[in-house]
Amino acid sequence: MKESVTPEEVSDFKNKWCNENLIITEIIKNGLYDHFIEPILDVGAGLGDIAFNALHDKEVICIDVNTIEEDLPLSPKHERVQVDFFDYVPKQKINTLFISHTLQFLDEDIELLEDKINSISPEKIVLVTNKNDDILGDLISWSEENYANPNPEIDIPDFPKGYQLLKTVDFKTHLSCRSFKQLATQISYLMLVDLDEVLESSLVDFLKSKLQRPKFDFNQQIKIFSKNGK
């Protein structure tokens, strides 16, 4: 199992091969904007592009364990902090916790995660996750058969505790590469596994058995939770 991903891996997936951040940005701007109550904590913000493009005029603290290049765009109302989520101590009351495709890096100890969220005590929690009801489900099965401890993004039952589900938005995104070998690399990013030559060849063969071309659509969802049901 990979313990982390590099900024380069994040950038390649988000900017070269997959359109998920563009779609998430548009959904937030055109329907979910008012659910993001300031201040907002963007956990695992990565490049910070969703916050910059969708929440430009709201107060956002973008945290990430990786060092992010200083020349990336940053709104005057945003702050970028390099820190592990579990080590982060807010300087002010956080009203919205935004976790977009980073839950798999936080869920090794669910009790610890719940305790951290309770300590921050946001009014709203916004989760963006894969649904895994399509080819990603097949790829999770493949990774579990070939690795002792893969770490894909999966649903956590009854999470987050103490919050009511207000709204769910389902959407579809597209992952497209120039070759099956490139696609295998992106799948290793999604499953948080390392590929040696043997496993890369095996994954390429598996992908070719499922797909005519090195591209596919997959389902995702945005869930909005509230502490007070509003």
pLDDT tens for each residue of 60-117: 999 999 887 777 888 999 999 999 999 999 999 999 999 999 998 898 889 999 999 9
Comparing 47 with 56, the larger pLDDT belongs to 56
- Going by C-beta distance under 8 Å and a sequence separation of 6 or more, which residues neighbour residue 91? none
pLDDT confidence bin for 119, thresholds 50/70/90: very high
Distance CA 41, CA 176 (A): 30
Indicate whether 44 pLDDT > 90: yes
Domains, in order of start, for the chain: 7-131+156-176+219-226 (3.40.50.150)
Q: Are 13 and 189 in contact (CB under 8 A)?
A: yes
Mean pLDDT along residues 121-146: 94
pLDDT tens, position by position, 148-197: 888 888 888 899 999 999 999 999 999 999 999 999 999 998 888 888 99
pTM over 0.85: yes
Nearest to 45 by CA among 101, 90, 108, 113: 101
Indicate whether 2 pLDDT > 60: no
Distance CA 130, CA 147 (A): 20
Mean pLDDT along residues 3-16: 76
Q: Are 121 and 165 in contact (CB under 8 A)?
A: no
Segments in the chain forming alpha helices (H) = 7-11, 20-27, 49-54, 110-120, 135-146, 180-191, 197-210
What percentage of residues in the chain have a pLDDT greater than 70?
97
